[in-house]
Amino acid sequence: MSSSINPNNIDGTFPVAGQDNDSQTFRDNFTNTKNNFTEAKTEIEDLQSKVILKSALSGGTLNNDGGAALLKNFEMRDFSETRVAKGSTSGTVTFNYSEGGYQTVTSSASLTFAFSNFPASGKLGRVSVEVTISNVAHTVTLPAAVTVGTAHVQGYASNVITFDTVGTYVLEFTTHDSGTIIAIQDQTRGSGNQIDQRTPINVGVAGDVAGKIAADTSYVYICTGTYDGSTVIWKRAAISAY
């Protein structure tokens, strides 16, 4: 926008020294000066309400909420993301997308994930959840909307993830239709087609599928059947030393 402040409507050569000067020009200069100050006030207040600031203006609070305005053609460097720590908990945990793109939680019992405030349909929303499993008995139940990428998540069966070992796992969730369909990607473990590094036993666990490979320090195991709540036999072969 162009400024409405007009410095040219003030006669800088008035009054002229050594002669009588028309009082109307005085009045015109004063009026135009006042009008310019009024325009300046309006424009400054407009900027104060819209610009992105490094720190709060004097007497105000910092608010850089862009209101979904488009930001493009910028070179990005040295940016960080907000980390939201949910602490140690159990039951339903809701990850509010608007709070931050990286959220952490530790299981004190089994967890049920939920999501809120994804961007409007047509916009990509991405949130990473770092979940620390403190006991292998603790499972993670996903929302029914998580339907893409589940085949590549180890321990997944019917929207429930069972973990073979305690530890920290990072799961990334994305959606472009405001959470109607959500995709999942396990950032810390390979897909189900890779070797599962655990100590297999003959009794299967949720997520075991026919053809799955596992290994320990002595044997390589191949699962012969998809887990159905009963025993699944793992065939094993000794690892040769070279």
103: which residues sit within 8 A by CB, 6+ positions away?
Answer: 83, 84, 85, 86, 95, 127, 128, 129, 130
- Cα gap 26→107, rounded to integer Å: 77
Q: Are 218 and 200 in contact (CB under 8 A)?
A: no
- Cα gap 147→124, rounded to integer Å: 16
Who wins on pLDDT, 140 or 200? 140
* C-alpha separations of 104 from 14, 41, 170 in Å: 69, 46, 9
pLDDT value of residue 197: 65
For residue 145, the cross-strand partners are: none
Mean pLDDT, range 188-202, rounded to an integer: 65
Q: Which residue has the tokens 């019992």?
A: 109
For the cut 70, the answer to whether the pLDDT of residue 194 exceeds it is no
pLDDT value of residue 192: 47
pLDDT value of residue 182: 98
Who wins on pLDDT, 217 or 96? 96
Mean pLDDT of the chain: 89
87: which residues sit within 8 A by CB, 6+ positions away?
Answer: 105, 106
- Cα gap 149→159, rounded to integer Å: 11
Tell whether pTM > 0.85: no
- Cα gap 96→84, rounded to integer Å: 9
Q: Are 134 and 166 in contact (CB under 8 A)?
A: yes
For residue 105, the cross-strand partners are: 131
Who wins on pLDDT, 63 or 131? 131
Q: Which residue has the tokens 């300046």?
A: 40
